[in-house]
Structure 1
């Protein structure tokens, strides 16, 4: 399952793409303009972005330039447009777009582009992981080994390498290997984070959404994506 962000000012396009990609087993989030897309990517990094070029506030090519200049282009971006010229498509590709789809988008072209984009996303994550080389540490650092606050991230340091991260909760300790792919490590951390806050908030989705800074709809999707079961009588509170 991949997280895909669809950015388009047309509601019909957002709903259609969401329905198709949900049927393919992906988690789909939507943004109707560049401002919402920026805010979304500040909260989390999707695995793939489908980005419309012509939008009322900021066009997709300008947003793509912003992400590239800020070093935020860490995921494949597929541009979409029904009016763009070849020059526009070439410019978007030069900036860093992975692919370009012309509207109306044919189903097979969409699915093929998404499939190839997710392969590229996996390659990007793998490359980022191999480029990270922990600095050897010969002596444990007590200030990192234990944290005073519950739920904080504590670093477990081996004699010659940083091997794993331990996340302490009120009643258990969850260990996350730093050798995992970035997406798997992130999911493990988020799962521990939300399970902790579910206990602290007694299952209140309103309180958890406020603490996490997420809308309830997105929170439900995130918990479902992470495989976290909710008590029905508490999830409505």
Structure 2
């Protein structure tokens, strides 16, 4: 219990950290938020080991970075979730926060207090989403016989975090052995599995739908506070 009290994040069942309470500043875009992806070594008494590196994927700019547990920012401020009204402990300098209860991504204290900062964060996010969509559009034009090594794979684990709103595509070694080519299977953040096939249109459609849901979720509270125009 002592280790949990000292940690700058919440620790849940089994001594594992609640990743919705782990706040890191991205070295690439300088946004302080809960990472989209987090890879860490468990500590001896639970939580995140301070003796190993922590790998993070920024949910705003999409960059992958390596940091340490010492960089996790303490949650010394409080705010109320815009959706479920749960009281949240968050860093005072957070640009974006996540509600552990309803999982809504929403403005943090820093962007609520500074509209220019909020606009800057939105520009970075929009540029990242545009780049990802451009990549997916380009992949649609690649002939199937040339696309085996070109499809994106964002995660090594086929279990996709529903909060991530990312698409994971994976090679199927069993199918490869029997057919002589590398088939793919995928899963969207909505939880729908895509069977091994080169017909990835359904995956792309689901990806676009959920990326739109992410943008709506992130801006929901900002629109209510007048930081983003209603038609944005």
Is TM (by shorter chain) over 0.5? no
Q: Which has the higher contact order (CA 8 A, sep 6+)?
A: 2
More helix by share: 1
TM-score category (smaller protein): under 0.3
Bigger radius of gyration among the two? 1
Give TM-score scaled by structure 1 length. Answer: 0.25
